[in-house]
Amino acid sequence: MAKTKSASETAPTAFTEALRAGEGFDLLALDARSTPGFDGDKAAGEEALAGLGDRLADLQERLYAESKAGGTRSVLLIIQGMDTSGKGGIMRHVVGAFDPQGVEITSFKAPTAEEKRHPFLWRIRNALPRAGDIGVFDRSHYEDVLIVRVHDLVPRGQWSRRYSQINAFEQKVVDSGTTVIKVMLHISSDEQKARLSERLERPEKHWKFNPGDLDERAYWGDYQEAYQAAVDQCSTEVAPWFVVPADRKWYARLAVTNLVLEHLERLDPQWPKADFDVEVEKRRLAEMP
């Protein structure tokens, strides 16, 4: 039996570079069971993940504190993926490491009647994170070039214009001080079938099963084409796509955690300097009973 590598022995490379979808990216060629940027096994991955929560929490608190001194920066994490790709696990294991007071999670469902009266980006713009916050989108404006495209919900000419509109929108978001991290969880058809089967076989999982998931599965090929187009059209210099192989849940959680961590470390938020005389306040406190 091969010896399990420790987290230190695996020496993972930068996940940002390993997972970025650059020119020529081919979704169909990406093995959904691969582990780009990490050469350890599940045990090593779980060990590595266990040590990241405190670092994430520290950087988040710095970002939040920075905003209280006039800072304008924020982070937006976008999670996209097919049904059962593990979005819920990402929310629990990655986003769960943050202080809730500085995180806003928005789950985008089918647009309401009110939302339909506005341009498709209207509800997205209203949910952007405030300065100092980390916003998390469970699905996003990309539904308007994914499910809308697959099911012909609007004319082709309308959804095809949305790629450039999305790029322009994200450029403005970045220019305003928000770091955008776009993650696609890439799951294989076989793994999705296995996860759906598990939900049907285990009574405690029935609540997670939606018969509509099988209806959507019938469009698997169309969705892969739609995701490929979204990556091709909207993986830009300011807001690139990161495609995370998601057949191994432990790896997907490790990868997304590191993606967020690396972006926060690049931001390097700083504790604000006191706007009062610290020594004076120390003396005042010492003199109190």
pLDDT digits (tens, 9 = 90+) for 125-168: 999 999 999 999 999 999 999 999 999 999 999 999 999 999 99
As beta bridge partners, residue 105 has: 136
- Mean pLDDT, residues 19-40: 96
- Tokens 């994490």 map to which residue? 77
DSSP letter string over 7-74?
A: HHHH----HHHHHB--TT--GGGS-TT--TT----HHHHHHHHHTTHHHHHHHHHHHHHHHHTT---E
What percent of the chain stands above pLDDT 90? Answer: 84
pLDDT over threshold 60, residue 9: no
In the chain, which ranges are E strands? 74-81, 103-107, 134-138, 178-186, 241-245
Cα separation, 14 vs 255, whole angstroms? 10
Examine residue 1 and state whether it is found in any structural domain, yes or no: no
Residue range(s) defining the domain that contains residue 189: 17-287
Residue 13's pLDDT is: 53
Examine residue 272 and state whether it is found in any structural domain, yes or no: yes
pLDDT band of residue 6 (cuts 50, 70, 90) is very low
pLDDT band of residue 94 (cuts 50, 70, 90) is confident
Examine residue 214 and state whether it is found in any structural domain, yes or no: yes
- Written as six digits, the tokens of 278 are 């610290």
pLDDT over threshold 90, residue 246: yes
Q: Which of 178, 214, 184, 185 is nearest to 197 (CA)?
A: 214
Examine residue 242 and state whether it is found in any structural domain, yes or no: yes
- Pairing between strand 103-107 and 134-138? parallel
Examine residue 5 and state whether it is found in any structural domain, yes or no: no
134-138, strands of its sheet edge to edge: 103-107, 134-138, 74-81, 178-186, 241-245
pLDDT over threshold 50, residue 31: yes
Residue 1's pLDDT is: 38
Dmax (CA) for the chain in angstroms is 74
Examine residue 9 and state whether it is found in any structural domain, yes or no: no
Residue 212's pLDDT is: 87
pLDDT digits (tens, 9 = 90+) for 207-220: 988 898 899 999 99
- Written as six digits, the tokens of 210 are 């939606």
In angstroms, the Cα distances linking 60 to 78, 99, 229 are 17, 8, 33
Handedness of CA 235, 111, 90, 81 (dihedral sign): negative
pLDDT averaged over the chain?
A: 92
As beta bridge partners, residue 242 has: 20, 183
Residue 234's pLDDT is: 98
- Mean pLDDT, residues 222-250: 97
Cα separation, 289 vs 236, whole angstroms? 60
pLDDT over threshold 50, residue 227: yes
Residue 5's pLDDT is: 42
The CATH number of the domain holding residue 211 is 3.40.50.300
How many domains are there within the chain?
1
More confident residue, 97 or 240: 240
Cα separation, 122 vs 252, whole angstroms? 30
Examine residue 10 and state whether it is found in any structural domain, yes or no: no
- Mean pLDDT, residues 72-87: 95
Examine residue 8 and state whether it is found in any structural domain, yes or no: no
Residue 91's pLDDT is: 86
Residue 269's pLDDT is: 95
- Mean pLDDT, residues 193-209: 92
